[in-house]
């Protein structure tokens, strides 16, 4: 439209300052992140755990290249103990190399922890923001529906949903996501409600900002911190739950490997080849612990109240 041609210097100033504001916001975000990182870095256990996790993830991604054998090939005597020629960590009940299976299995196990948590968080943030900010009957409806899901213990919910569907990795991911959404949603909603009552929200409303703007620009950033902390700890826990589902035969199917099914398969040779069960379980524990440490470190870093000791 030709009216833009008649835009005088006043219009330009306003447009420029909008861009400036965006740049300023970016600066502020970068500064906050840097501050958070510094606070996080003070917790040595958390940093160590983070490095460990990065290494683990890298190894998983590189599994096809660094794995000594194909995880489904029988390469040694059944149940060969650790230290046997060619199989550092031993072989499982079908003679497959445990190390290779751990490497390849890690891709799935970590995925099972990561994907449902991220997906559930995304869904939960949406639901929780809507319920918390808009309130009213939408809030009631969402919360009542969630209450129904809360009536089932999380693990049970995941098991039942997975049990209904065809076994497989996708099933486990879906099942865990469904089970997890209510918990994260509850946290998002509670945080949103408390943020909503802050004076700066009212100020934004008085300034004429519309609901989507307020929610995305003001509520969302301020509500994210506890959610991120929670989600990080959940990744480790969901990895354990996922291994449990695989253990029950609902996840990865033989001959493929993930840590949970390795524990299950090791059961058959528990007495003669305990390492087949011990190693995958140990890996699960260590990785899960690492996630806990990172989550703790994040919580202390993002919590504005300083720690006394």
Partner 1 sequence: MTRFIFARLLTIIPIMFGVSFFVFMLAHLAPGDVTTTLTGPYATEEVREQIRIKYGLNEPLMVQYGNWVGRIVQGEFGKSIANRRMVAELIFPKFANTAILAVTSAALAYVIGLFVGVFAASRPYSLFDRLAMAGTLMVGSIPPFWLGLLLVLLFSLTLRWLPATGMTKIIDGGYPGDVILHLILPTIAAAAAPAAIIVRTVRATMLEILSQNYIKVARAKGIRRNVILRKHALRNALPPIATICGLQLGYLLGGVLFVEVIFAWPGIGSQLWAAIQARDIPTIQGASLIIAVAFVLVNLAVDVFNAYTDPKIRISEGMRAR
* Whole-angstrom distance, CA of residue 175 vs CA of residue 115: 11
CB of 87 to partner 1, least distance (A): 20
Query: Which residue, 218 or 293, is less far from partner 1 as judged by CB?
Result: 293
Interaction of residue 179 with partner 1, rule CB under 8 A: no
Residue 230 vs residues 180, 190, 219, 309: alpha-carbon distances, Å: 12, 13, 18, 23
Name which position in 1, 18, 19, 164 contacts partner 1 (CB under 8 A): 164
Which residues does 81 contact at the CB level (< 8 Å), separation at least 6?
Answer: 90, 273, 275
Q: What are 18's two structure tokens?
A: 């909008």
Q: Coil, helix or strand for 114?
A: helix
Residue 53 vs residues 8, 11, 12, 278: alpha-carbon distances, Å: 56, 51, 49, 20
Interaction of residue 232 with partner 1, rule CB under 8 A: no
- Residue pair 229/299 in contact (Cβ under 8 Å)? The answer is yes
Interaction with partner 1 in 241-260: which residues (CB under 8 A)? 243-244, 247-250
Query: Which residue, 7 or 156, is less far from partner 1 as judged by CB?
Result: 156
Under rule CB under 8 A, how many of the chain's residues touch partner 1? 41
CB of 187 to partner 1, least distance (A): 15
Please identify, among the stretches 7-15, 19-27, 67-75, 261-269, the one whose residues bind partner 1 according to the rule CB under 8 A. Answer: 261-269
Interaction of residue 60 with partner 1, rule CB under 8 A: no
Distance in angstroms between the alpha carbons of the first and the last residue of the chain = 63
CB of 16 to partner 1, least distance (A): 51
Name which position in 3, 197, 212, 271 contacts partner 1 (CB under 8 A): 271
Interaction of residue 274 with partner 1, rule CB under 8 A: yes
- Residue pair 232/295 in contact (Cβ under 8 Å)? The answer is yes
* Whole-angstrom distance, CA of residue 149 vs CA of residue 278: 34
Q: What letter would DSSP give residue 200? A: H
CB of 93 to partner 1, least distance (A): 14
Interaction of residue 305 with partner 1, rule CB under 8 A: no
Residues that bind partner 1 (CB under 8 A): 144-145, 147-149, 151-156, 159-160, 163-166, 236, 240, 243-244, 247-250, 263-264, 266-267, 270-271, 274, 277-278, 281, 284-285, 288-289, 292, 309
């Amino acid at each position: 439209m030709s009216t833009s041609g008649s835009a005088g210097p006043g219009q330009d100033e306003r447009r420029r300052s909008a861009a400036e504001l965006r740049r300023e916001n970016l600066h502020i975000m970068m500064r906050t992140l840097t501050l958070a990182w510094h606070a996080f870095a003070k917790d040595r256990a958390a940093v160590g755990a983070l490095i460990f996790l990065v290494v683990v993830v890298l190894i998983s991604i590189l599994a096809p290249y660094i794995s000594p054998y194909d995880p489904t090939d029988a390469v040694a005597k059944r149940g060969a103990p650790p230290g046997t020629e060619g199989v550092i960590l031993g072989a499982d009940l079908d003679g497959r190399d445990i190390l290779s299976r751990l490497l390849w299995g890690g891709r799935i196990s970590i995925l099972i922890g990561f994907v449902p948590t991220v997906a559930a968080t995304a869904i939960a943030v949406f639901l929780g923001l809507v319920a918390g900010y808009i309130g009213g009957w939408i809030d009631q409806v969402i919360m009542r529906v969630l209450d129904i899901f809360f009536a089932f213990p999380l693990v049970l919910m995941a098991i039942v949903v997975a049990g209904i569907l065809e076994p497989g990795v996708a099933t486990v991911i879906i099942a865990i996501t469904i089970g997890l959404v209510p918990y994260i949603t509850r946290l998002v909603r509670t945080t949103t409600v408390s943020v909503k009552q802050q004076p700066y929200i009212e100020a934004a409303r008085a300034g004429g900002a519309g609901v989507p703007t307020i929610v995305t620009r003001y509520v969302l950033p301020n509500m994210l911190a506890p959610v991120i902390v929670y989600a990080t700890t959940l990744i480790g826990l969901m990895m354990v739950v996922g291994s449990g589902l695989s253990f029950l035969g609902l996840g990865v199917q033989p001959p493929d490997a993930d840590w949970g099914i390795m524990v299950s398969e090791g059961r058959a040779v528990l007495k003669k080849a305990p390492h087949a069960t011990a190693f995958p379980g140990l890996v699960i524990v260590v990785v899960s612990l690492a996630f806990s440490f990172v989550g703790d470190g994040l919580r202390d870093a993002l919590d504005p109240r300083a720690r006394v000791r």
